[in-house]
Every structure is written in C-alpha cells, then in structure tokens.
Structure 1
Amino acid sequence: MSKFVPFGDLTGQKLLLATFFLALANFMVVVDTTIANVAVAHITGSLAVSTTQGTWVITSYAVAEAICVPLTGWLAGRFGAVKVFASCLIGFTTFSLLCGLSNSLEMLVFCRIGQGLFGGPLMPLSQTLLMRIHPPEKHAQAMGLWAMTTVVGPIVGPIMGGWICDNFSWHWIFFINLPIGIICVLGVLKMLKPAETPTEHVRVDVMGLSLLVIAVGALQLMLDLGHDHDWFSSQLILSLAVISTFAFAIFIVWEATEKNPIVNINVFRHRGFSIAVLTMGFGFGAFFGSIVLIPQWLQTNMGYTATWAGYVTATMGLGSVTMSPVVAKLSTKMDQRALASFGLFMLGGVTLMRAFWSNDADFMALALPQILQGFAVPFFFIPLTNIALGSVQPNEVAAAAGLMNFVRTMGGAIGASLSVTIWDDHSSIARSEMVSKLNVEPTLSELTARGFSQETALATISNLVNKEALTLAADHVFLVFSVIFMAGAMIIWLCPKPRKVEGAAPH
C-alpha cells in the first residue's frame, strides 16, 4: 500500500480546521432539512396561507435536493470536488439570505428550491473530501464525525427553529446560515485548494436529467396542489399525474439503454438492493411525514409554542445518538434483515401509540413515543443501508448510494405532502360526522347560563369540535403510517440473506 501524502501542508491543526469546516457545512445543510418543520405554523400565519401550502416550504427543498443528488458525481468529475463544494456553499448561503427576505409564499418556495439544488451535493461531497484529506487509518474517525453531524443535525433543527421563531421571527431560521456559510466558504477555499480532485470532460445525460426533473416535479406538484384542486376532478391534477407517469416510464427506458446514465437503474437487478431501497423509501416517507405533522398538530391544537414543539420532536435524539454505534457493531454480527425488521416493527409500535393521542395528553405522553422512536431509527436506517449497498457489485456502490439517497429523500417529500393532505381532508370528514351526531342544545344552555352570549357559546363549541376533529385526523394519519412500518418489517425478509459488510456505515 502506498504511503498517504498530505495535500499541501494539510496536517496537524490545518487538517483539524479543514475537517471542522467540512463537518460544519454538512451540519448546516442537515439542520436545514428539519429547522423549518416547527416554523410552518409561524410561516403560514405570517404569509396568510393554509397549512397544506405551508408544507411546500419543506417539500420543495427536499425535492430539489433529491433531483440534484444524482448529479453530484458528474459535477465533481467535470469541475473538481472542492470547486463544486465551495460553489454550492455560496449558492446555498445566497438562497438562505433570499429565503429570509421572502415576503410571499411563492418567493419563499422558489428560494427553498434554490437552497435544495445547491444543498444536494454538499452532503455527499463533504463525505468524499473528508475521506480524501485523511489517511486511510483515520477514515473511521472522520466518518464518525460526519455521521455525528448527520445524526445530531435533525435533533438540533427543531429546537433551534422553535426558539428562533418564538423569540425573533421565522426569517431568522434562514439568516443564521449566513455567518456559518461565509465562514465555511472562506475556510474551504483557503484550506482545501491543494486537495482538488482531477477533472475530465464527461458528457452529462441531459435527456435523462430532463426526464427526471419533469417526472419528479410533476409528481410533487400533483401532491402539493391536489388538496386545493379537489384531486382528480381537476384537469390540472389529472394532467400532472399523466405527465409524471409518462416521464417516469420514458426515463426508465432511457436510463436502461443510455451509455452514461444520470441514474444507473441497472442496480435494481439485485433483489436485495431493490427490496431494501423500496423499504427505505416507504419507511422514511412514514417517518418524515410524522415529524412534519407532529409540530403542526402540537402548535395548532395543543397550544404548544414552536420552542416546546421543537423539544417534543427532538427528544428522539438521545436514542439515535446512543444506539447508532451499537447497531453498527451488531450489523457485523447478526442477520441485518432481523435488525431492520425489529427497527421497523418498533417504529410501527411507537407510531401506533400516537394513534391514541388525545387533546388532554401531557408532555410525557407525547414525548415517550419520540424517545422510543429515537432508539428504533438506527435499527431501521443502518441495516437497510448495509443490505442495499452490500447487495451490489463493488464498482456499483457509488451509483447505488446516490440512488438510495434519491429514493429516501423523495420518500420523505412525498410522506410530508401526504401526511398534511390526509390530515386536512380527514379533519373535514371527522368534523362533519361529529356535527351530524352532536346535540348542541344542552351545552349551549349551560354556557349561556354561565354568562356566555349566544355567539360566544356557539364559537366555543365550534372550536372544541374543530380541535377534536384535528386530533382524530392526526390519529388516522399515524394509524396509516403504523401499517406502512409493519408492512416494511415483513417485506424486508424477501431480501436474500445479505453478505457481511465489515465496517459498513450509513451513507
């Protein structure tokens, strides 16, 4: 094995600083995937839009990020990993500023798309550059730091987002990226220039990329606009569904026959990879849909501030941080299908616990499923990642990892859209059913006897019915997600017994 030669004088303190800037940049991007979750109620109130429309702030970022992930390898090969990383940091920071300055939903969603497009390559490139600047014997520690920022980011996001929204305004959840982004850009340009990767003129699969953008964009627009346009009774939604279906079909045929595909779909020939990635997509959709819905329900129905909604959401962090190294160790010794199945069953169980939440639930009743979920997530995420990447040929691992991240991110975006849509639709159904069975007169008489005016008494009853309907609808969403987790726990056994992947880690 040839001796590792540092790039320039990238040793000692300079190497530590370079590692810090890469980890900090990754942390900033990961935090941004969840920081907006607890801010949706503030954003919808400030911009006078519905909760369903407010969710576009989350889904637009996720979809743009998902589309850009498959392009990362081509961009790095064509322009150099360090140049692309620095350029993406500049773009991400610029769009963060524009997000904070947004005064309409349209502008905010457009800027979140920009954030996602530039943020997509930052996670995989930070991983690549960390591996590049450290000697092989230090790769495990470098990846440990990278994994820690990836795990801790979603925990810090809701707490930070809630505190900022309650004490300043939602605009500041984007403005805080400015100093971090500027520091990271300057640090990367100063420290990492000697570690630039070689470049070559590689042709990009323009047709494949165009079809991917059209298919994913049409699908997400259909999901985001469907509720407001009464779904398939609308010509627009019907057209979007047809466009998405045809674009996906043509995309699959094109990519299967293209010499340099933007997405190497041939890795789906491996049964283990296909089933693991399918399970990952459905499971992450149910997981992300839940963590988007919970803060909104807490703030709308339970009177929680954004800060306290963030605390409830973030209580799963302890388990995730604690169990990640344990599960990584177990993955080298046990059948990873059993570990993944256990994690999915546990996620199904805690989601089922939420399906019995009521309007008088206390903090511990709300936090307990979150805490248990934190312990379950590593069992779900790490073995599924290992099964997927252990099922493909060594020369296909990079393409498989990119495709898996794409499916996972798309699953999250679709899950977020569906959770809020089902919640909204089912609350209307639940309200209608309650109103049809409600005998208002006794309650109305009691309230008027206590000094309430007729109008105030009716408004009080209406408010109680609305709150109960929203809770019943949220419980319905959790029941649906619980079934998805349970189904995933059984489907994973269709994978062939995976090869042992020594030292495998989540990508």
Structure 2
Amino acid sequence: MSAVTAGAQGGPKGQAAPAKSTPEAAPKISSQPVANKGLITVSIMLATVMQVLDTTIANVALPNMQGSLGAAQDQITWVLTSYIVAAAIMTPVTGWLSDKIGLRQLFIASAAGFVVASMACGLSTSLEEMIAFRLFQGLCGAALVPLSQTVLLNINKPEEHGQAMAIWGAGIMVGPIVGPTLGGWLTETFNWRYVFFVNLPIGALALAGMIAFLPNTPKRQRGFDFFGFAMLSIFIGALQLFLDRGEQVDWFSSPEIWIELGLAVSAIWVFVIHITGAKAPFIDPKIFRDRNLVMALVMIFVVGMVLLAGLALLPPMLQNILGYPVVTTGLVLAPRGVGTMISMIVVGRIIGKFDTRLLILTGLLLTALSLYQMSGFSPQMDQTPIIVSGVVQGLGLGLVFVPLSTLAFATLEPRFRADAASLFSLLRNIGSSVGISIVTVELAHNIVISRSELVSGLNPFNPNFTEALAAMGGMGANQTTALAVLNQQVQAQAAMVAYVDDFKLMMIITLCAIPLLALMRPKPKGAGPAEPGPAME
C-alpha cells in the first residue's frame, strides 16, 4: 500500500469485512483530520511548483550556461538529461520510501535536498559540477510531486478530493508552461544562475510550512524487490538517454544509441519475465487486469506527448521564424497556462456531476481543435492565433488531466494503487520524452523535404523567380545579397511548413486516443467524485 494509506486508521473501523481480511487487503482510504489544512496545502504546492518549474526553466538558459561553463553544444544538454533521468528512475520508488521512513520525513528531506542542490547548481563553475548537482536535484525532486498529491488526498475529505486534485493539477500543468517565461526573464535581467537561485526563497517557505504544519504518518515495513527495481531503472535510464541523445548523435548511426536501445529492450524484457514469476514483484502483473487503468495509462502517455512536445516546438518557432525575443515568447505562451488553470478550477467543481468520460472527451476535442488551429500558423501572422490556440489547448489539457486520474483509479483494487500511481506518473514522463523526440525528428526531416521542394522551383527558367530576384535588386553586384535574403525566406517557409506538419501529427495522435474512452467504465455511482487515488505517486 502506498503512503496515501498512512493516514488511514487501523482497527475494526475502516477495515473490510472479516471474510475479506486477507494479507493483501487494504484499509479503506479516509481523510486524516488536521489543523491548518490551508497552510499545509500552500506549503506542499510551493514545493511542487518548485520542482515542476525546473523541468523547463533551465532550457532557455542553456546557451548562456554553455559559454560560462565552457561546454560544447552536445555536452550542455546533459544539464537537462541528467535531471530527467535521475527523476525518472526515482519516481517509482517513492511509495516504498514513504512507507519505510515516513511521509513527513521523506517530504521534508526531499525538499531540503532539492533546495541545497539548486543552490549548488547556481554556484557551479564547471560542467562536471553542474551535471553532478543536477543528478542530485533530480533524485531529490522525484518524490515532491507524488508526495504532494498523497498529502492532499490524506488531509481532505473524500468529497473534497476533486477540488484538491484540481489545485494539485493546476500546479503540475502550469509549472512547465510558466518555466520558459520565468527562465527567460531571469536570464536576461540577471544571469543564468538565477534560474536555480529562484528555488531558494520558494523552497525556504515550503520547508518552513512543512516543518511547522505537516503531520506525522505511521511507517510501514514492507519488502522491496531490488532486482525488479534495478531492471526497471536500467530500462528507464537507457530509454531516456536513447530519446534525449538520439538527435545529437544522429540516431542509429551512432553506436551509443544501439547500446542504449539494447539495454532498454533487454532490461524491460527481463523485468516483465521477473514480475510474472516473482513472489513479491516490484509491480504486481495483476494490476493490468483493470481495463480503466490500462486505458488511462495509454491516454496519459498521449497527454504527456502533447503537453511538453508542444512546449518544445513553440519557443524556437516564435524566436527563429517570427523573431520574438525570449521575454515576448514567454508572454505569448502564458495564456496557455491561464486556460489550464481555468479548466482545472471548473473541473474541480463539476467532476462529480457529469460522466467523467464526457469531461475527458471534451478535453481531448479541445486539444485537437487547438492543434488544428496551430496547423494554420504562418510567418506573417500576428500574436492572436498563438494566444487563442494556446488558451484552447490549456482548457483542453486541464479538462483531461484531473478526470483521467480520477477514472484511472475508479475500479482499481486499493492494494494496487501504489504501483498503479507509479506507472501513471512514469508513463506521463516517458510520453513527454517520446513526444519531444518524435516531433524533433519529424521537424528536422520535414525541413529538409520542404526546403528541397521549395528550392526546386527557384531556377533561371522560372519567370516568377527571375521577376522576384529583379524586384529585390538582385542583378549584377547585388545578386549575392538578394540570393542570401531569398535563401533566408525559403528557410523560414520550409521551417514553418515542418512545424505545421508536426502540429498536424500531434492532432492525429490526440484524436486516436478518443476511442479508448469507449473501453473505460464509468465511475461507480456510490464512489463519489473523490477516490482518484494517488494519481502521480
């Protein structure tokens, strides 16, 4: 059982009927009465926002870091990769650690470690130091998101879980969107080190609140499948490296990629064989008998792809094609976060009044609509299409996230929730990495194809080309300059066509997820709106 049950009361009250009291049975989840619930919520959400901001806040500062740390182009990306890999590996073990040492203790230790690591990152003087501290930061930060959700579920009554998850989801979804904006402003106003130093005041407030108000929870001793965890960790680490490094080393032309792919395939194969035969596996294979959970895992994978893949595409498009500065890029993308917060607030109030599948369907359709709008982008557009499509997409993703986490756990046996929550979080993160890799590869491929098609018509035998060249003053000595200007325009057009093709691909992927809703069962009538389970643990 996960840490979410730590606040459940033992004894006859709250236990299942005697006939079902087997060693695997779990106590019914109940809220843990606490004082200062509002202050606890603020404290843990500060810690959550601090962690999710760091998934994107450092991206825009990489060029500045590269010069300061004396790193090459292919080396500086390890600042991002090291953090992602460390956090991904530690996420599945959060539930076991919270039972082993206590939720309060793990939460405070993780937040303190994250703050210390952030300060160390900001003080780094070499690439080696930065990578080491980012690894430590990822290891500490991995527990913050699942633990914050667990605490919110523990301190709120079942009928309040919907609103609690909406608050939590707003922090999870808005953080990556705000990250580039805040990171760009800090880098331009101060320097790149402040993208890490900004965590110090936030973390200090979060720690003060948690130390003062976070309640203690009972510890629970349980076995740990070290071999299963090792195989899953190797799979996650190798897969993340495969996805993050592929573009930089030209994918399968590099021995490194083949090694990482081989490790990933071998590790997941051994892991699957192991859990099907082990007496106490790291993840019980019976969990996959629940149809709602399996479908939700597929859909959260898609949500991860669409959310962060879109965020990976838009900043370079706005800066390189439309010429927006970093701060303007962040401001134009900010309404996306506003849309997400609005839908999160609304869904927290209506989640128990409508079929949860209908809310998810509406969210997916809005997300697909936003991607359709983005497929109409052009180099000559103003900011309106970007803002409108961003708000629509924010509304759509917000309508998907909380209802999906609710429905994923609606029919699942309570004893499986810890493992299911780990998988839910893991699939969202892997979906983000896969999505970014797919759109990046397709972007580079489509730019080459689009440019080739555009250039094929630019020759002396095309009267339109010669007329355009003459209009630009491209005759005689000015011809070289005119051709250079024309080449830039062709490159911009080819890049925009490639971006549009990526948006169309993401729209198709989103629409393909909709039929999965037909395979999911509605939330039981008597369950209420509030048993979503620890959706991110």
TM-score by length of structure 1 reads 0.87
Matches within 5 A, 1:29-428: 29-39=51-61, 57-58=79-80, 60-102=82-124, 108-132=130-154, 145-192=167-214, 195-428=215-448
Question: Which of 489, 503, 508 in structure 2 is aligned with 1:478?
Answer: 503
Q: Could you tell which deviates more after superposition, 352-361 or 435-444?
A: 435-444
Distance change >3 Å, CA 103–CA 448, structure 1 → 2: farther
Distance change >3 Å, CA 232–CA 16, structure 1 → 2: closer
1:191-248 per-residue CA deviation (whole Å, 9 max, x = no partner) reads: 44xx333335543322112111211121122222222333223333223222211111
Question: Which of 445, 450, 457 in structure 2 is aligned with 1:437?
Answer: 457
Give the Cα separation in 2 of the matches to 1:16 and 1:214: 40
Q: Is the 8 A contact 1:38 1:310 kept in 2?
A: no
* Residue 488 (structure 1) aligned with residue 510 (structure 2): no
1:10-38 per-residue CA deviation (whole Å, 9 max, x = no partner) reads: 845xx654443223212211222332355
Q: Is the 8 A contact 1:31 1:156 kept in 2?
A: yes
Residue 396 of structure 1: CA displacement? 2.0
Amino acid corresponding to residue 93 of structure 1 in structure 2: V
Q: Could you tell which deviates more after superposition, 159-168 or 241-250?
A: 159-168
Residue 437 of structure 1: CA displacement? 2.9
Distance change >3 Å, CA 184–CA 479, structure 1 → 2: same
Amino acid corresponding to residue 473 of structure 1 in structure 2: A
Amino acid corresponding to residue 484 of structure 2 in structure 1: A
Distance change >3 Å, CA 223–CA 332, structure 1 → 2: same
Residue 294 of structure 1: CA displacement? 0.7
Q: RMSD of the alignment, in Å?
A: 3.3
Question: Which of 522, 528, 537 in structure 2 is aligned with 1:502?
Answer: 528
Q: Is the 8 A contact 1:58 1:413 kept in 2?
A: no
Q: Is the 8 A contact 1:263 1:403 kept in 2?
A: no
Residue 261 of structure 1: CA displacement? 3.3
Residue 351 of structure 1: CA displacement? 0.8
1:109-142 per-residue CA deviation (whole Å, 9 max, x = no partner) reads: 5543332221111122223345556788987776
Distance change >3 Å, CA 98–CA 430, structure 1 → 2: farther
Q: Secondary structure at the match of 1:35?
A: coil
Q: Is the 8 A contact 1:344 1:486 kept in 2?
A: yes
1:442-469 per-residue CA deviation (whole Å, 9 max, x = no partner) reads: 5555444599855443432232222222
**Alignment gaps of 5+ in structure 1:** none
Higher-helix-fraction structure? 1
Distance change >3 Å, CA 102–CA 483, structure 1 → 2: farther
Q: Is the 8 A contact 1:59 1:417 kept in 2?
A: no
Q: Could you tell which deviates more after superposition, 350-359 or 139-148?
A: 139-148
Q: Secondary structure at the match of 1:316?
A: helix
Equivalent position of 2:26 in the other structure: none
**Alignment gaps of 5+ in structure 2:** 1-8, 14-29, 460-464
Give the Cα separation in 2 of the matches to 1:391 and 1:220: 31
1:139-182 per-residue CA deviation (whole Å, 9 max, x = no partner) reads: 77765654454454345433322321332223311111123223
Equivalent position of 1:463 in the other structure: 488
Give the Cα separation in 1 of the matches to 2:348 and 2:213: 32
Q: Could you tell which deviates more after superposition, 456-465 or 303-312?
A: 456-465
Q: Secondary structure at the match of 1:304?
A: coil
Q: Secondary structure at the match of 2:376?
A: coil
Would you say how many aligned residue pairs link Structure 1 and Structure 2?
Answer: 500
1:293-340 per-residue CA deviation (whole Å, 9 max, x = no partner) reads: 111211222111222211222212232222224334443333333332
Q: Secondary structure at the match of 1:315?
A: helix
Distance change >3 Å, CA 434–CA 100, structure 1 → 2: farther
Q: Is the 8 A contact 2:161 2:529 kept in 1?
A: no
Q: Is the 8 A contact 2:166 2:348 kept in 1?
A: no
Give the Cα separation in 2 of the matches to 1:53 and 1:499: 51
Give the Cα separation in 2 of the matches to 1:57 and 1:204: 31
Distance change >3 Å, CA 59–CA 309, structure 1 → 2: farther
Q: Is the 8 A contact 1:341 1:488 kept in 2?
A: no
Distance change >3 Å, CA 136–CA 419, structure 1 → 2: closer
Identity %: 35
Amino acid corresponding to residue 489 of structure 2 in structure 1: L
Give the Cα separation in 1 of the matches to 2:244 and 2:158: 45
Amino acid corresponding to residue 84 of structure 1 in structure 2: L
1:394-433 per-residue CA deviation (whole Å, 9 max, x = no partner) reads: 2222322221111111111221233223223322332233
Distance change >3 Å, CA 370–CA 179, structure 1 → 2: same
Q: Secondary structure at the match of 1:34?
A: coil
Q: Is the 8 A contact 1:289 1:412 kept in 2?
A: yes
Q: Is the 8 A contact 2:163 2:348 kept in 1?
A: no
Q: Is the 8 A contact 1:158 1:310 kept in 2?
A: yes
Distance change >3 Å, CA 136–CA 340, structure 1 → 2: closer
Amino acid corresponding to residue 324 of structure 2 in structure 1: Y
Equivalent position of 2:45 in the other structure: 23
Give the Cα separation in 2 of the matches to 1:457 and 1:109: 45
Distance change >3 Å, CA 138–CA 380, structure 1 → 2: closer
Q: Is the 8 A contact 2:31 2:153 kept in 1?
A: no
